[in-house]
Structure 1
């Protein structure tokens, strides 16, 4: 049976409108009084990522494998990197390098649109390879800003995600705490200065505009009012944050995480910054089963699979998982990151339900 162009177009529109699993991620940057920079990030995903933490020393030779079997840009890594992957693929969804540059790749559905592949593919790279390319080659934001316009960034299907082209945008921070947001849309390449928070769609500029709707939020409680001689005081503490969005949508998480970071007491050092980042991540945590969609009579929903803390000042990566809330750490400084050093890996999902048993530590109360 022959299909007309109109029928094919209709089928394409229908397929394009089918719901994709909506993956929610949140990221926030914390600056400590002593200048330490820590970035907290949550990874919410519907499919099991089975992520590994990978330590890759410098000197790795790479080539971007393009659609149609073509070869793209080739590079040899300038920096050693510590990153998390997904689906056992050699790609970075989050990580940092030995120069103190950190990157997060967050879902960007309905907005991401990549470039058409050029005839000369020597500067062409897939969106899946871009995060690792950035981490392995650049130590400053200025270097990234200069390099990105010359790259031809194209989409590629990911079989592990049902063959979709992953819609992603990226945040990058350096050791100074400055950050940029990288988005490829129908308007082309957009690079924004980060205000220290990021979630998902819509475009970053939309989220910045949306902040204007919440400028009244404050840490200070509301003063009592008097009506016809009767005083009415706020019920309990926290009335200054009345109206802060509490749902798990990207706009709500952006405002919630950003407000918490803005209003919280400024920590003194990296340890305090990590603690604050993890507390903010707690406010956007998604328990399994609380966010669900249905497609083809099947239920699917994302949940917080893991959370990371990137200490860009001290080169330490912290992580915890849904089933193990205990923070684990990897210190890049303790490893040989020179060319030829071994590549190392550890699964993110280690022992589940880690609990410290302090039963034996109970002692008689003072004076008894």
Structure 2
């Protein structure tokens, strides 16, 4: 259970924020340098990432670091999120393509693509695989992915029919739901989305996607279901101020995250918001707050990559 969204500021900046809702694991800020070398768990193939990455992940994974979200040196930001048992991976590799376990995709993406357009160009060179024919048995990871860059585009990347399918995300919010279009349809119960009916209409605040009228609309739902978190994040974004700069943008993003953060609970499940993070794609800064720490830590790329 994760919630992700983008938030733009009037100085041209963009924050990409998320909750990482999962079982407890050691999450830490990582800097992977240019030409970071790693070995795929799928087939033992040696990989080299030409681009540096600043992200959140686990450095103690076998054969390589595991990145859950982050930004690279060119300002491409991406995240992986669970996908509610809907991932459809390939079992047989195609010649000339790169075969990866699903959890390795973000490490490849941020290390090999400069922008959303670059992602679109290279996406068909990669296959996400089951472990049926893998060197190491890594089990099933039901994942999909979200990405953005300084152009303001936000995309969803989903594994269907053994291929990675890109779709545009004009809402600027994504959770774990397997049917994004259905979540958007449910959102129309709570706001009139002029971005769907009149996509050419531009608001003074690009974070707003509705007509601005909530008359006659029901109060948005509580709870931690996929749909509830999706709707709350969209409504909070819609009603938030238009931040002027990175500092204001991070503050607004954190208050929105407060509304979708999942606390520990003995009666619900073993999952909770292990951490909240955000990256600013222009400054390439990473903001990280773990569950046990009330402070938000700020990380940067080293001056010389």
Per the shorter chain, which TM-score range?
Answer: 0.7 to 0.9
CA distance in 2, matches of 1:59, 1:145: 22
Relative to 1, partners in 2 of residues 1:206 and 1:261: Cα closer, same or farther, differing over 3 Å? Answer: same
TM-score by length of 2: 0.84
Relative to 1, partners in 2 of residues 1:220 and 1:145: Cα closer, same or farther, differing over 3 Å? Answer: closer
Report if the CA contact (8 A) 1:219-1:241 is conserved.
no
2:75 maps to which residue? 100
Relative to 1, partners in 2 of residues 1:116 and 1:34: Cα closer, same or farther, differing over 3 Å? Answer: same
2:44 maps to which residue? 71
Deviation of 1:141 after TM superposition, in Å, equals 0.8
CA distance in 2, matches of 1:242, 1:208: 16
Which among 80, 85, 93 is matched to residue 110 of structure 1?
85
Deviation of 1:318 after TM superposition, in Å, equals 0.6
Asked if 1:131 corresponds to 2:106, the answer is yes
Deviation of 1:219 after TM superposition, in Å, equals 6.9
What SS does the corresponding residue of 2:30 show, helix, strand or coil?
A: strand
2:240 maps to which residue? 264
Deviation of 1:206 after TM superposition, in Å, equals 2.3
2:287 maps to which residue? 318
**How many residues are aligned here?**
280
Pairs within 5 Å for 1:268-307: 268-289=244-265, 292=268, 300-307=269-276
Relative to 1, partners in 2 of residues 1:87 and 1:140: Cα closer, same or farther, differing over 3 Å? Answer: closer
CA distance in 1, matches of 2:181, 2:44: 34
1:33 maps to which residue? 10
CA distance in 1, matches of 2:274, 2:68: 13
Which among 191, 197, 200 is matched to residue 215 of structure 1?
191
- Structure 2: segments with no counterpart, 5+ residues: 193-209
CA distance in 1, matches of 2:303, 2:225: 39
Deviation of 1:87 after TM superposition, in Å, equals 7.7
CA distance in 1, matches of 2:56, 2:131: 20
Report if the CA contact (8 A) 1:97-1:136 is conserved.
yes
Deviation of 1:289 after TM superposition, in Å, equals 0.3
Relative to 1, partners in 2 of residues 1:101 and 1:246: Cα closer, same or farther, differing over 3 Å? Answer: same
Q: CA RMSD in A?
A: 2.4
CA distance in 2, matches of 1:249, 1:264: 22
- Structure 1: segments with no counterpart, 5+ residues: 1-23, 223-239, 293-299, 338-368
Deviation of 1:168 after TM superposition, in Å, equals 0.5
